[in-house]
Structure 1
Amino acid sequence: MAMAARLLRATEVASRFLSASHGFVQRAAYTAGGIVDVGQPTPQSHPELLADGEITPGITNEEYISRRKKLLEVLPEKSLAIIASADQQMMTDVVPYPFRQNGDYLYITGCTQPGGVAVLSEETGFCMFMPDTNKEDLVWQGETAGVEAAVDFFKADKAFPLSQMQKILPELIEQSKGVYHNVNTTSSYKNLDAFRRASLNNKVKDLTNYTDELRWVKSKSEIKLMRESASIVSQVFC
């Protein structure tokens, strides 16, 4: 009975994190007491899930910064990495499927929300383009992370609305010697003339091999999370 109770509790916590990340929790739960809503759990809004300094459970902002630094170290000189979030897939016109984040975007940024694009280079640092929202989006989806959250919570060096990407990103692409991205993404940056020219000039490469390499060696925090996950799963078979 004790093991079953622990498993049930772990399942409930995971479910609460996922639902909160996708904007289905009432806004009042975030904004009460001056807590800033960034569209996903924070140590202030969900102290039962995240400790101070963590962006996702068990992983701190320092670790995300370290991941980005290591990615730049393994990429060739003068490279530009473009990492897009997953798109929200729809079941019907108004009913979405449960959202699943792109693995590389989550690994590099810690953002669990759709619609963003992250850009990383030695010259520009870590830049995030965040989705534009309107009043209707807020009513139906709840709050989402914007440019302020990108800087304050996700620790971006620079942040812009996604609507400005077509003005800013082409210059970054043209200045780089190589553009690395997830070739399976469907993000709108692929429609930029600068990206198409880079592709024709054989400057566009797959980022996946480099992000996979980063995952070969696990951090202490990652090992701890893996052990906790294995412990929870093993209780099902006891």
Structure 2
Amino acid sequence: MRYLPIDNQLFVQNRQRLAPLLKSKSLVVVNANDIMPTNADGTMVFRQNNDLFYLTGVDQEETRLVLFPEHPDPKFREVLFLRETSELIEIWEGHKLTKAEAEQVTGIPQKQIYWTHQFEQIFGQMVFEAEFIYLNTNEHTRAGVEVQTRDARYIDAFRQKYPLHHLERLAPLMHYLRAIKQPQELPLIQTAIDITDKMFRRLLGFIKPGVWEYEIEAEMMHEFLRNRSRGAAYTPIIASGANACVLHYIDNSQQCQDGDVILLDIGAEYANYNADMTRSIPVNGRFTARQRAVYDAVLRVMKEATQMLRPGNLWDEYHREVGKVMESELIGLGLLDRTEVANQDPDAPLYKKYFMHGTSHFLGLDVHDVGNKYRRMEPGMVFTVEPGIYIREEKLGIRLENNVLITESGNIDLMANIPLEADEIEEMMN
């Protein structure tokens, strides 16, 4: 892996934190992600299942973790299965984890690590002592899963082979655990953010009228890769002019024109953890008066929203309060009428015409990380803050986004060192 070794106590403690959440006499099975095909004999780059990574630190295909905290035999309480390597695999694909290396990564003793082809033999010595079996599914509220996953195939296979066991959902437990970042996770997120910072400063000296959006993407990737990142945490949005009013614009194919503002929604990945940053900057290095007015309005909303991220607050209430702040700013910009706002349908607020997405989401191993919006905000949660104003008739879209850690005494802006104020942006570009 490109990233530096991670203290395996993170993964040991994550497994320890999961155990008390299970019912008595429970067994857990977590599978690696598939390697997805493209065409012919091509494949996509492998990306590990985040729950498996969270519990083991293993970043390798064909891996399986089985946990059974109450098994009578201690050697069956944590068992890891790895793909067995060979000289042929070593020649064609490169090095795979040995059992000794896997022990260093996971903290699972080597005597409890087996090859994947031994799974049925070992699992048969475990499963009949269990009453409840926790299996994994993708329960993200925004997920649209059309391809059957390895986890889904395993659920089908398990039901056929062991029809009398009681199946339980692992996902809610993982969502609960992963929402609170552990002390060892925060430096990994911060490293992704620091790489993003370096990248953005590089772009401030590169962007000018006439460059193409894809050239900016190339500069971005150069800085990511040279800093141990695997690349972008998500498909980058590099949207100049009217493109910035398309929320998920990813073509990145247009030339940047003098007088336009370019919206950059780009963040680095590091050790499977993610940064998520958005900046909007003038292509020629100077905002017009109107662009500056809209920019400052978005920035004020961002600052107020950031202060609302504190322990005890609820997701929906937070977004309603941010909406009120945005209404005031849009009235000030002449985009909304105060009287019409006072008489609006509360279920269809008028500000949604210019600010149609949410302000915050969980951040971590997933860019839109798992968590429950009905759970009150707690110390250790990391959120984005990303208000925006999109004026299609003016071909102007401005969004600003930072990543914020909630603490007992308030919150910490993890991107506080990345240029944000309009004057600072202009100064660095000129």
Deviates more, 1:118-127 or 1:65-74: 118-127
Q: Is the 8 A contact 1:74 1:210 kept in 2?
A: yes
**Aligned with residue 168 of structure 2, among 202, 205, 212:** 205
Matches for 1:34-49 after TM superposition, within 5 Å: 49=3
Unaligned runs of 5+ in 1: 1-15, 18-48
Match of 1:162 in 2: 116
* More helix as a share of residues: 1
Please state if 1:133 is matched with 2:85: yes
Letter in 1 for 2:116: L
Match of 1:144 in 2: 96
Match of 2:34 in 1: 87
Deviates more, 1:167-176 or 1:85-94: 85-94
Q: Is the 8 A contact 2:28 2:68 kept in 1?
A: yes
Query: How much has 1:95 moved relative to structure 2?
Result: 2.9
Please state if 1:110 is matched with 2:19: no
Query: How much has 1:103 moved relative to structure 2?
Result: 0.7
1:220 aligned counterpart, secondary structure: coil
Query: Could you state the TM-score of these two structures normalised by the residue count of structure 2?
Result: 0.39
Letter in 2 for 1:196: Q
Q: Which has the larger radius of gyration?
A: 2
Query: How much has 1:152 moved relative to structure 2?
Result: 4.0
Give the Cα–Cα distance (whole angstroms) in 1 for the partners of residues 15 and 55 of structure 2.
6
2:79 aligned counterpart, secondary structure: strand
2:125 aligned counterpart, secondary structure: helix
Deviations 1:166-191 (A, max 9, x none): 11113312211111121354257557
Give the Cα–Cα distance (whole angstroms) in 2 for the partners of residues 61 and 83 of structure 1.
18
Query: Could you state the TM-score of these two structures normalised by the residue count of structure 1?
Result: 0.67
Letter in 2 for 1:212: H
Match of 2:178 in 1: 215
2:90 aligned counterpart, secondary structure: helix
Give the Cα–Cα distance (whole angstroms) in 2 for the partners of residues 211 and 89 of structure 1.
24
Match of 2:44 in 1: 97
2:150 aligned counterpart, secondary structure: coil
Query: How much has 1:71 moved relative to structure 2?
Result: 0.6
Give the Cα–Cα distance (whole angstroms) in 2 for the partners of residues 163 and 73 of structure 1.
30
| Pair 106,153 (structure 1): closer, same or farther in 2 beyond 3 Å | closer
Match of 2:192 in 1: 229
Query: How much has 1:228 moved relative to structure 2?
Result: 4.0
Match of 1:41 in 2: none
Higher RCO (C-alpha under 8 Å, 6+ residues apart): 1
Q: Is the 8 A contact 2:135 2:155 kept in 1?
A: no
Deviations 1:129-160 (A, max 9, x none): 11123332211110111333323442223011
Give the Cα–Cα distance (whole angstroms) in 1 for the partners of residues 98 and 190 of structure 2.
34
Letter in 2 for 1:213: Y
Q: Is the 8 A contact 1:173 1:195 kept in 2?
A: no
Letter in 1 for 2:179: W
1:171 aligned counterpart, secondary structure: coil
Give the Cα–Cα distance (whole angstroms) in 1 for the partners of residues 132 and 188 of structure 2.
34
Unaligned runs of 5+ in 2: 139-148, 201-278, 280-418, 420-430
Match of 2:150 in 1: 186
Q: Is the 8 A contact 1:81 1:119 kept in 2?
A: yes
Aligned length: 183
Deviates more, 1:84-93 or 1:228-237: 228-237
Identity rate of aligned residues, in percent? Answer: 22
Letter in 1 for 2:150: T
Give the Cα–Cα distance (whole angstroms) in 2 for the partners of residues 227 and 106 of structure 1.
18
| Pair 148,191 (structure 1): closer, same or farther in 2 beyond 3 Å | farther
Give the Cα–Cα distance (whole angstroms) in 2 for the partners of residues 102 and 119 of structure 1.
15
- Over the aligned positions, Cα root-mean-square deviation in angstroms equals 2.4
